[in-house]
């Protein structure tokens, strides 16, 4: 059976001398894999459309274990990302996260929209730290693991003077926790990220103090939920630390 589908390539695996298997996120089928014969050759008709990060219109043929690429016309390559190591490392990290937790079909369309918006902003934005924090938190929310940010997860107290507990899944009030309260600006930013319409998720402003706290909370919360530390994130940390 042949199908037409658009997909964002989030992983590529070399096979043999010149082939590859691409993993793509689609709105209709979620995450699927397809074999692209000869795609690693510079003469291949699949070369442009079967690159990592590329959003492509595919003609696929369904086979027993995976699809086979018949044609691949690139819609957006996000090529600018490859011109900067920090942007490239973040793109790989984002795709690793999508491949890890983006398998649920019920919101694949939302996941794809979030991924495309993020890669577009990654190629343009000057505030990569805020972009990373925003993607991490919104992505984990779309998988059904949003933190509770409006009341204490233990007693239900609705005070805004709270500590964010990664292990407890949200806010703890001063009665339930002796930890230092988060900044009001951090709480406001997090509430915006989890509740704003998708197109406005990244549209907010913070100061450096809030951003420093926000990036720590969102990364720790996501890592706790997925229960692993991606190698791509370790590389990103080494890269940014070497640039400080």
pLDDT above 70: residue 183: yes
Could you give the domains of the chain? 2-77 (2.40.50.140), 80-242 (1.20.1440.120)
Name the token pair of 214: 């926000």
- Residue 226: its pLDDT value, please? 95
The region, left, alpha or beta by phi > 0 then psi within -120 to 50, assigned to residue 115 is alpha
pLDDT digits (tens, 9 = 90+) for 192-223: 999 999 999 999 999 999 999 999 999 999 99
* DSSP for 19-49, written as a single string: EEEEEEEETTTEEEEEEETTTTSTT-TTTTT
Q: pLDDT, tens digit, for every residue of 125-164?
A: 889 999 999 999 999 999 999 999 999 999 998 877 789 9
Residue 99 has pLDDT above 70, yes or no: yes
**% pLDDT > 70, the chain:** 99
pLDDT at 29: 93
pTM score, whole prediction: 0.94
Give the pLDDT mean for 84-109: 91
| Contact by Cβ (8 Å): 171, 165 | yes
């Amino acid at each position: 059976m042949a199908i037409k589908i658009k997909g964002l390539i989030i992983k590529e695996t070399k096979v043999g001398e010149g082939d590859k298997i691409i993993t793509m996120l689609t709105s209709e089928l979620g995450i699927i894999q397809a074999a692209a014969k000869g795609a690693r050759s510079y003469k291949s008709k699949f070369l442009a459309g079967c690159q990592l990060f590329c959003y492509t219109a595919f003609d696929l043929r369904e086979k027993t274990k995976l699809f086979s690429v018949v044609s691949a016309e690139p819609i957006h390559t996000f090529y600018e990302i490859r011109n900067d190591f920090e942007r490239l490392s973040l793109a790989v990290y984002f795709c690793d996260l999508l491949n890890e937790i983006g398998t649920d079909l019920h919101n694949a369309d939302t996941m794809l929209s979030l991924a495309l918006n993020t890669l577009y902003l990654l190629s343009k934005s000057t505030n990569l730290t805020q972009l990373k924090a925003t993607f991490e938190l919104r992505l984990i929310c779309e998988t059904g693991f949003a933190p509770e940010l409006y009341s204490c997860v233990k007693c239900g107290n609705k005070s805004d003077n709270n500590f964010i507990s990664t292990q407890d899944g949200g806010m703890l009030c001063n009665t339930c926790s002796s930890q230092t309260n988060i900044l009001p600006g951090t709480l406001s930013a997090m509430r915006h990220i989890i509740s704003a319409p998708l197109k406005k998720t990244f549209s907010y402003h913070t100061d450096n103090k809030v951003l420093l706290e926000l990036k720590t909370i969102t990364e720790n919360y996501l890592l706790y939920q997925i229960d692993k530390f991606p190698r791509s994130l370790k590389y990103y940390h080494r890269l940014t630390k070497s640039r400080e």
